Structure 1
Amino acid sequence: MFIKENFKMALDSIFANKMRSFLTMLGIIIGIASVIAILAVGNGAADEITTTFSDIGATTISLSANDPDQSGDLITNDDLNVLKESIDEIRYVSPNETMSGTISTDEEARQSVISYGTPDLQFLSQAMSSTLVEGRYFNQVDFDEAQDVVVIDTDGAEALFDRIDVVGETLRVTVAQSQLNLRIVGVVEGSFGDMEGAFDTDQIPLFIAMPHSTISNQVPQLTGMDSVAIEVETTEQIEPVSNQVVRLLELRNNAVGDNVYSATNFLQALDQVNNVLSLFINFIAAVAAIALLVGGIGVMNIMLVSVTERTREIGTRKALGATTHTILIQFLMESIILSVIGGMIGLTLGIILSNIIAGALDIAPIITLGSVALVLLFSTAVGVFFGIYPARKAAKLNPIDALRYE
């Protein structure tokens, strides 16, 4: 009953001065709305980035080799065969090498990005799709015998031949001042369709893939493998497989303790990206939260004014038997209600703003229950912290002096 009566009195006082109460809450409203919008949009953007990168290669290990002495090939085709045969968890393994060159027919020539690796490149390449439209991908026989074969995407086929059924056609590839005449054995799905109208497609390089053995056989300076992509079944296998791969290569190439081989994975890179994003989001949210501090100061200022205006009321209540504790709770509750109402309005406004901003950025805002609870708890804490001093001042007024106050 005591709490209910104080709550009613606090509401009556707030609604008796609607404009002043609203202006008092404005700083809290702006602060809460800003924090909610920043957290929701920031978390949505982080989730979008995480999802996008997860689709690219959440179970992929990047193996690299660095030889300061340049004493020879640090990773060979034999090494790759041993890795795949020795470690059951490895699904695919291939050099992750690309270079630029020119591809041409009798009528057309275009710049190209050339990917080369093992037959597993079909599933590991980030440059080309793994979806076959015509023919086949180069296979183990092509790789073992260094056959002069190549796979092209539909965009390249259309650009060079004005059709996609080009299996069996000859393609000239010029790379590192060497010219290779290759037979097209397959056509994979292209990606230009997603960018249609956004770029001048004549200026975008085409994409082809070929066996690593073929290009190293005809262009000897490209025999080395500096980077290899390895795909495992699950993310839980990434760490143990990474350690096994490095250890096995060190033993095979007498490089134990030389730190020649290193294995990194997507999850490590993703953790770093998430840490940077979280730091940035939290920093911006902390800056926005300064408005809450300003709002809290506004609450304290108005409550002090309210105490001054209601000095005679306080004196009258004390003369009629109200205790110091009763007066303290009355004014403290008024301060808390102001902050909580401001927090709820700010929360609603923040949700609306986050949906508008996220919609413009084409992402989904993420508003967690924890964020909502934290905002409401924080706004209540602001009311308590900045309301204590005015409430104590009101509670300590001498009833005689208060009744004489003009």
Structure 2
Amino acid sequence: MALDSIFANKMRSFLTMLGIIIGIASVIAILAVGNGATSQITGTFNDLGASTVSLSVSNEASKSDSLNDKDLQALKTSIPTIERISPDKTLNGTASSTYEKKSALAIGGTPDLQYTNQMMDKGLVYGRYFNQNEYEDAKNVTVVSEDTAAALFKGRKDVVGEKINLASVGGTTISLKIIGVTKGTFAKMQGSFDTSKMPVYLATPLTTMAKLDPTVAAINSVTVQVASKDDIESASKQMVRLLETRHDAVGKDFYTATNFLQALDQVDSVLGLFINFIAAVAGIALLVGGIGVMNIMLVSVTERTREIGTRKALGATTNTILFQFLMESVILSLIGGIIGLILGILLANGVASALDIVPSITMGSIVMVLLFSSAVGVFFGIYPARKAARLDPIEALRYE
């Protein structure tokens, strides 16, 4: 009987469900796109290294308190959980081949730079990375990205064995032999931009970079990768204590270890609050939809007063009438919830596709939507159903 009543007034039933549909679709789309964006950002942090620690020297420290090669070796040999450690020094200049000349960003470090470098991909497509001997001997070798190779050598990417000249801002120039090519950098960037105006990227031994600018030899920050994210806290404390001991700086707070997990927790917290706030605002449409259901059900009770009186005169109990009208409101809300769920999924996929992210729709979200829409039907249907159930059959039969 509830279904017959709903389908007998299809347009009115649809308009009644419209608030529920819009509310559910909005909440599902926001949660799906928001969770997908959060997962992508979290994945980016994991790519950078969930087990990565940034070790830095305070500006208040003297030059003698800066890090050196011996410090790096001591850290790696004394703390077993450290797998890789490298400075992340950068130098602006120009790189030129026999074909092109481009502004360049050179990144200097130890051989571990291949894995700690956050500006270039660690994956090699041609050749190899520089080794410890080349680092210690300050060999004039370099590793470039595919983008750099293409920009300097007329689109060619396999440029192993070629030479480029790297010039510092001060005018000092050295010739570098390309020994390896990593995956491109620009392909991962979002949006439209003119790649011809982007700088080229290359990685060199820090000792080689010091030939261009001796000031880079003073190491004020290094990137450290530990075996597991569970080792981050203990490794961070050990690194700070070891450096304070080696530089006689105990208690001076010259050295600070910061890990990406702390930043990731902050990002997750901020994104979670933002997504929940937007979803709550969208949820207001559900409240409006629930009020619409209650309004239409009250109208329905008024229209069907004689029907209710007749049913009660024929023996229908108060609970039977209550259940009939309550079921109508629940079915209206549930159908609206299902339609809203489908539209929300389609909307989430459309928006996510435009933003180039993968929407995240969980079974828990689907179940929550269906339960919530049913709850809306029950909550806003109780009053009209009670009003119908309490009608006096004699007065209802007299109603015109």
TM-score (norm 2): 0.89
Matched residue type, 1:177: G
Which of 275, 284, 300 is the equivalent residue of 2:294? 300
Name the CA shift for 1:192/1:316 in 2 (closer, same or farther; >3 Å).
closer
Work out which of the residue numbers 229, 240, 243 in structure 2 matches 1:235. Answer: 229
Aligned to 1:202: 196
List per-residue Cα deviations over 1:144-187 (Å, max 9, x = no partner): 33344433445444544556545374x44322515142441513
Q: Distance in 2 between matches of 1:57 and 1:213?
A: 25
Task: Compute the displacement of 1:231 (Å).
Answer: 1.3
What is the deviation of 1:137?
3.1
Letter in structure 2 aligned against 1:282: N
After superposition, the Cα gap between the structure-2 partners of 1:271 and 1:195, relative to the gap in structure 1 and judged at 3 Å, is closer
Q: Within the alignment, does 1:103 sit opposite 2:103 as a pair?
A: no
Tell me, yes or no, if the aligned pair for 1:154 and 1:187 is still in contact at 8 Å: no
Counterpart of 2:51 in structure 1 is 59
* Contact 1:136/1:185 (8 A) holds in 2: no
Which deviates further from its counterpart, 346-355 or 89-98? Answer: 346-355
1:294-338 C-alpha deviation (Å, 9 max, x unpaired): 110111101111111122222223333333333222221221111
User: 2:27 is matched with which residue?
Assistant: 35
Would you say the 8 A contact 1:39–1:285 is kept in 2? Answer: yes
Relative distance call for 1:91 and 1:317 in structure 2 (3 A) is: same
1:177 aligned partner: 170
What is the rounded CA distance, in whole Å, between the counterparts of 2:399 and 2:295 in structure 1?
20
Query: Which residue type is aligned with residue 292 of structure 2?
Result: G
Whether 2:344 is the aligned partner of 1:353: answer no
Structure 1 segment 124-163 matched on structure 2, within 5 A: 124-132=116-124, 136-160=128-152
Separation of aligned partners in 2, 1:107 and 1:15: 75
Residues 184 and 28 (structure 1), Cα distance of their counterparts in 2 relative to 1, 3 Å cut: same
* Corresponding residue number in structure 1 for 2:180: 187
2:179 is aligned with what amino acid? G
- The answer to whether 1:75 aligns with 2:72 is no
Contact 1:44–1:365, Cα closer than 8 Å, also in 2: yes
* Cα distance in 2, alignment partners of residues 349 and 104 from structure 1: 54
In structure 2, do the counterparts of structure 1 residues 127 and 379 end up closer, same or farther at CA, with 3 Å as the change threshold? same
Matching of residue 26 in structure 1 with residue 18 in structure 2: yes
- Do the aligned residues in 2 keep the contact of 1:132 with 1:186 (CA within 8 Å)? no
Q: Secondary structure at the match of 2:353?
A: helix
Alpha-carbon deviation of 1:364?
2.5
Is 1:380 aligned to residue 374 of structure 2?
yes
1:289 Cα deviation (Å)? 1.3
The amino acid across from 1:259 in the alignment is: D
SS in 1 for 2:239: helix
What is the distance in 2 between the residues matched to 1:90 and 1:104?
Answer: 37
Q: Does 1:211 align with 2:205?
A: yes
- Farther-moved stretch of structure 1 (303-312 vs 344-353): 344-353
Mapped pair 1:253 → 2:247: yes
CA distance in 1, matches of 2:208, 2:124: 21
Return the offset for 1:359: 3.1
DSSP 3-state at the match of 1:25: helix
1:6 maps to which residue? none
CA-to-partner distance for each residue in 1:58-101, whole Å, 9 max, x for gaps?
33221122132545443222111101111122111000121211
State the one-letter code of the partner of 2:167.
T
After alignment, is 143-152 or 117-126 more displaced?
A: 143-152
Counterpart residue number, 1:272: 266
1:333-352 deviation digits (Å, cap 9, x = unpaired): 22111111111121122222
* Offset of residue 132 of structure 1: 4.7
Whether the 8 Å CA contact 1:133–1:188 is kept in 2: the answer is yes
The whole-number CA distance in structure 2 between the counterparts of 1:296 and 1:107 is 69
Separation in 2, partners of 1:134, 1:383: 63
Q: For this pair of structures, how many residues does the alignment match?
A: 397
Structure 1 residues 166 and 314, CA gap change in structure 2 (3 angstroms): closer
Q: Could you tell me which amino acid in structure 1 is paired with residue 20 of structure 2?
A: I
Structure 2 residue 310 is the aligned partner of structure 1 residue 316: yes
Could you tell me which runs of 5 or more consecutive residues in structure 1 were left unpaired when the two chains were aligned.
1-8
Question: What SS does structure 2 have at the residue aligned with 1:297?
Answer: helix
Identity level (%): 59
Q: Distance in 2 between matches of 1:92 and 1:141?
A: 17
Q: Offset of 1:253 from its aligned partner? A: 2.2
Residues 238-264 of structure 1 deviation map (CA, whole Å, 9 limit, x = unaligned): 232222222222222233333322222
Judge which range, 38-47 or 154-163, deviates more: 154-163
